[in-house]
Structure 1
Amino acid sequence: MRSNQDPALLRAFAAEIKARRAASSLSQEGLAFASGITRTFVAKLELGQTSPSLTTIFRLADGLEAGPDEMIQSTMKRYKKELKAAK
């Protein structure tokens, strides 16, 4: 089975989550608790090892006290930088 995951996009989302979590002074466990997901899943997201569902994006945004739209827009900026760096 072929993966349709975009590694650059996963790295951009991972960086966004890490940056927002650090700015909020939250541990992975704290973010997981605030978001209603497991700490191991937060770790996998931050390592770019898995892709979040729409539900997860909304839960993370809530846990980070941010809007999902803000997170997506910031992730897109990071993604564009990832693509430029790869050229």
Structure 2
Amino acid sequence: MTRAEFSAELQALGAKIREKRSVAGLSQEGLADACGLDRTYVGGVERGERNLGFVNLLRIAKALEVDPSDLLTGIRAGSGE
């Protein structure tokens, strides 16, 4: 399966990260600094343009002070959400 086939799921994950970041009161730059990632990478993840690796998912969850599973709740492969 290609990355394009999971576009909806990547967008749903990005929206969940954006929501948690907003609740935490962080900018994209603030989140990027907190987890050691580039701001443009975080922006791409939030827009569903980047295929987020597991280690980076853990970094983002730690910076947001949430369990990684909280970022994946409600997202099912092939469901688009």
**TM exceeds 0.5?**
yes
1:70 is aligned to 70
Normalised by the length of structure 1, the TM-score is: 0.80
- Unpaired segments ≥5 residues, structure 2: none
- Unpaired segments ≥5 residues, structure 1: none
Hey, which of these two has a bigger chunk of helix by percent?
1
Normalised by the length of structure 2, the TM-score is: 0.85
1:10 is aligned to 10
Question: Greater RCO between the two (CA within 8 Å, min separation 6)?
Answer: 2
Aligned identity (percent) is: 32
Over the residues paired in the alignment, what is the CA RMSD in angstroms? Answer: 2.0
Structure 1 residue ranges, 4+ long, deviating more than 2 angstroms after superposition? none
Larger Rg computed on CA atoms: 1
Number of aligned residues: 78
Per-residue CA deviation, residues 23-80 of structure 1 (Å, 9 max, x unaligned), is 00100000001111110100000111111000000000011011112222x2xx1x35
